[in-house]
Amino acid sequence: MKDSTKIKETLQKWIDENRENLPLNIDLWNIDIHENIPNEAPQKMLSFGSYNAKGVTTASFHKPHSRIVKL
Amino acid sequence: MVIIQSSSLDRSTNDIIDWLAYYKANYIRLNDDYGVVKTNITLHNNRTFINDIDISKCSYMYRRGDLCINFELQEIDNVDKINNWLLHEKLFEENTAILDSINYLFKRRPSISHVSDIDISKIEQLEVANSVGLLVPDTLLSNDFSTIINFLNDQKCITKSLSNVKIRLSYSSDWNINMHLTTASVDSNDITKSKKGLPVLFQQYIDKKYELRIFYLKGQFFSMAIFSQQNEKTKLDYRNYDKDKTNRNVPYKLPNEIERKLDAFMKAINMNCGSIDMIYTPEGKYIFLEVNSIGQYQWLESNCNYSISKNIAEMLITMNLENERFDENKRNSTEMDR
């Protein structure tokens, strides 16, 4: 049996055994099982110095409004 | 000095900083990894320093995140793990109280938003909205099975999380589990398995002509209509985004009466900034859903050409200048008294 299916079954069993201590709408919750892929290269975090900010990308075609509008 | 408390990943703060830099304003950004190392709070002369920042002379905006006090403790020899953990927890509570004091002092500054705005519950919001004359969906928060069944049988309903809870678990080194509840349509068949359980929020499902996202900023309204009904994915809640087929979003002018009621609502819950979600029904009614103190507004700016970041920057600068003028007048009147 595929691992993710087995994990889902384990979770479902846990939900069924603990229903009284879980929200009444537990059956409507989204449950996603993700595999850790070890070969995935970690995303490089960029540092935007003057903003004291970080991010993996900038907004595309970003030009600060203050540079566009001549007031 | 303008202080913005945010997260290092929050892009909307970058836009505000663009304008602060344009106006050559002094500013500091405190991100959620900002550790408070040194504190000097003296109440008798009203001076407050966090690290070396004088926050007694600033205007302030809360955007996201929490301040923190980092500390690492070694375990006490001959004391068991549970008691060492209790020691850590009690010291953590003390640090939390210190940060609460700093947050309180920020709240006293001329400011836009505050961290305590996040704590206003959905139920309180709905009750206050109703009290100022806004229409709200029928709402039930209950774990009484028969009451819930009657509510669900009376009308079409949705259910959602009160706190937008998202659970991330590491199941093993190879597998992770994510659990969360988005707004979901619900009927009595969905809860018959769980006749007993924790209370849950149910609301009347309201038919929509379109949805509204409104950014409120100290009495100003920046509104956008979201045409979410043509897409099954976004029909129930526009936040179930369809990135391949995005909804049409356009600038919108609310009727004066609705703006007046929303303004009264924001004042009643003591919030001066937030993102409000509403529904416009096919019958022409405006239904209030909720307000989010840290909601995103960049998409309103780009879809509707609103200058929200510019307005925020100008407000922060103006509040700071007024603060400095007040201090100077106070100093001058003190000297004249001598």
pLDDT at B149: 93
What pLDDT was estimated at residue A67?
54
Residue of B27, B15, B30, B55 whose CA lies nearest to B311: B15
**Structure tokens given for B258:** 């609705």
Count of helices and strands (H, E) across chain A: 2, 3
Residues 121-140 of B with CB under 8 A from A: none
CB contact under 8 A, B199 and A27: no
Give me B52's structure tokens. Answer: 């070396």
Best mutation target among A3, A6, A28 (most B Cβ atoms within 10 Å) is A28
pLDDT digits (tens, 9 = 90+) for B10-64: 889 999 999 999 999 999 998 887 777 777 777 666 677 877 788 778 899 999 8
pTM reported for the whole predicted model: 0.85
Contact B9 A55 (CB under 8 A): yes
Distances in Å between the Cα of B334 and the Cα atoms of B43, B164, B322, B337 are 19, 51, 18, 5
β-pair type (B59-62, B2-5): parallel
Query: Which spans in B113-255 are helix H?
Result: 122-131, 145-154, 232-235
Which carries the bigger pLDDT value, residue B319 or residue B328? B319
DSSP state of B272: S
B82-88 average pLDDT score: 83
Cβ-based neighbours of B235, under 8 Å, separated by 6 or more: B208, B228, B229
Residues contacting B228, CB < 8 A, separation 6+: B208, B210, B211, B234, B235, B237, B238, B247
In this structure, what are the phi and psi dihedrals at residue B10, rounded to the nearest 5 degrees?
A: -80, 115
Distance CA B211, CA B161 (A): 20
pLDDT band at B328 (very low <50, low <70, confident <90, very high): low
- Whether residue B21 and residue A26 make contact (CB cut-off 8 A), yes or no, is no
